[in-house]
Amino acid sequence: MELMFNSLYRHIKERIPMIPIAGTDGFYRLVRWVQLDDHSPNLHHLLRSGDLVITADCADLTADTERFLNYIRHLSQLEASGLILYFGVSSSEDCGNASVDEKIIRCCDQLQFPLLSIRGNLHVADITREMCSVLFEFDHNYDMIDEIVCGLLYEPHINARSAEHLARFGFPSRADYIIITYRDDERTLFQASDDRNYRYLNRFFYTLGEKFFYFREAGYGIILIQHSDERKVTSYAQDIVRSLVEIHGNENIRCGVGTCVHSVTDIRQSFRNARAALSYAKFKKMNCISFQDIGFYKMLFSSEDQDLLKEYTLCLQPIIDYDEKHNSDLVRTLSVYLKSGKSIQKVAAELACHRNTINYRMKRIEELLYFDIDEYENAFILELAFRVLEYLDQLKLEDLHH
């Protein structure tokens, strides 16, 4: 796990006097590890995304602006988190007072690439040890917070120690929280960790100055944000889902925004509501919607009684049983028929069947259901049943995964 540069800076600035020179807008960058650059030919092959580079080659760099510029650009392309100029304990007075050319400052600001310096009676080993200690501690804390928060999605109770740990991490028990959930229709993008998501979200929320925690659970990408304004959070979610669609090149990424709860132990309800909103977004082929905006479906998806919800699907049971017995496709045909505005032509095109085949299926469906499916009230009941069935199937899969 990586730590945001700004967090690392805040944790160690009292013990290690790092002086920001340029690129402070890039403090959202993630720090994975610390690398010392002795400018050996093999170093750039060892650098990874998120490495914070420390170099003692200060005199040569500051004396050669073009070399310095190329070095900064190269590190930025490698997605290094920043560069620290280490002047060291044995630096001459001239080197210690060396200034950085304005071209370098403008370049770092433009690239949002943090450039800092460390001067004074500090050994580089002490600096790296301090930074690595903070990274290890954050990694441990993050894993603990991830475990606690994931548990709260299913069980609204935590012990005093966990509550204290959350509070130290910036998530007190009594505060306003909203859950945002993301998932693609194929349920693949958020199954595994993807640095692009975390890097983008860090930049997004750092710019806004908002407190958030991003994690994954049951195939969802989940954001826990400390906020009370559901409209503003929905606006954030809409911006985020547009960017995720662009990042992943997948138009089928969707987002649901839960309701505001007033305690961290209540985020389970916000998560359930966010999932319901996401299901609605998939049904309506939308990218993002909040639970508060799904109208009648709020009553349906607010119920935690799955047996009660199943009663809404009983009207489909005759054709479900028929499909199982005859290996037919009546359920899917009816679902497509309702979604396509009751157009036989559109159903035939989507299912790659002849119109006569679809007409035969529709007649068989009406015989099994014993009512006119084109009558408004009946069509509404059937459409509702499909939505409930889809939602219950989704919950079942997620519970099995958990």
Question: What are the pLDDT digits (tens) for 11-22?
Answer: 888 888 889 999
For domain 3-134, the question of CATH label 3.10.20.30 is answered with no
For every residue of 71-133, DSSP letters joined together read HHHHHHHTT--EEEEE--TT--HHHHTPPPPHHHHHHHHHHT--EEEE-SS--HHHHHHHHHH
DSSP conformation class of 17: -
Query: Of 334, 388, 335, nearest to 366 (Cα)?
Result: 334
**Beta-strand relationship, 82-86 and 51-55:** parallel
pLDDT at position 400: 44
Q: Which of 2-11, 35-44, 320-329, 384-393 has the highest average model confidence (pLDDT)?
A: 320-329
Neighbours of 326 (CB within 10 A): 10
Interval 168-183 mean pLDDT? 93
Lowest mean pLDDT among 67-71, 88-92, 93-97: 93-97
What whole-number distance in Å separates Cα of residue 387 and Cα of residue 394? 11
The CATH 3.30.70.270 portion of the chain extends over 153-301
Q: Which CATH superfamily is domain 153-301 in?
A: Reverse transcriptase/Diguanylate cyclase domain (3.30.70.270)
At 40, which amino acid appears? Answer: S
**Mean pLDDT of the region 242-270:** 94
- Is the pLDDT at 217 greater than 80? The verdict is yes
Indicate the pairing of strand 82-86 with strand 115-118.
Answer: parallel
Of all helices (H) and strands (E), which one includes residue 163?
helix 160-168
C-beta of residue 310 within 8 angstroms of C-beta of residue 389: no
What is the pLDDT, as a whole number, of residue 357? 92
Cα separation, 354 vs 340, in Å, equals 16
pLDDT value at residue 91: 47
127 φ/ψ sector (left φ>0, alpha ψ -120 to 50, else beta): alpha
Fold of 307-401: Arc Repressor Mutant, subunit A (1.10.10)
The C-alpha atoms of residue 98 and residue 105 are separated, in whole angstroms, by 14
Over range 71-96, report the average pLDDT: 76
The widest CA-to-CA distance across the chain, in whole angstroms, is 94
Which segments of the chain belong to CATH 1.10.10.2840? Answer: 307-401
Q: Say yes or no to pLDDT of 280 above 90.
A: no
Specify the domain boundaries for CATH 3.40.1390.20 within the chain. Answer: 3-134
Of the pLDDT bands very low, low, confident and very high (cuts 50, 70, 90), residue 89 is low
pLDDT value for 97: 44
> How high is the pLDDT of residue 269?
92
Mean pLDDT for all residues in the chain: 86
pLDDT category at 107 given cuts 50, 70, 90 is: very high
Please name the helix (run of DSSP H) or strand (run of DSSP E) that holds residue 18, with its range, or none: strand 18-22
Find residue 115's DSSP bridge partners: 22, 83
pLDDT for position 96: 42
CA 314 to CA 320: how far, in whole Å?
10
> Model pTM greater than 0.75?
no
End-to-end CA separation in angstroms for the chain: 22
pLDDT band at 94 (very low <50, low <70, confident <90, very high): very low
Strand, coil or helix: what is 178? strand
Give the mean pLDDT of 196-220. Answer: 90
71's CB contacts (< 8 A; 6+ apart) are: 61, 83
Note the pLDDT of residue 15. 85
Positions of E strands within 136-260: 174-184, 212-217, 220-226, 253-257
Of 31-40, 59-68, 141-150, the range with the lowest mean pLDDT is 31-40
According to the model, what pLDDT value does residue 402 have?
40
- CA–CA gap between residue 325 and residue 313 (Å, rounded): 19
**Residue 232, pLDDT above cutoff 90:** yes
**Separation CA 401–CA 78 (nearest Å):** 36
* Residue-level pLDDT at 401: 44
pLDDT at position 84, please?
92
pLDDT digits (tens, 9 = 90+) for 341-361: 888 999 899 999 999 999 999
pLDDT value at position 182?
95
The rounded Cα 303 to chain-centroid distance in angstroms is: 26
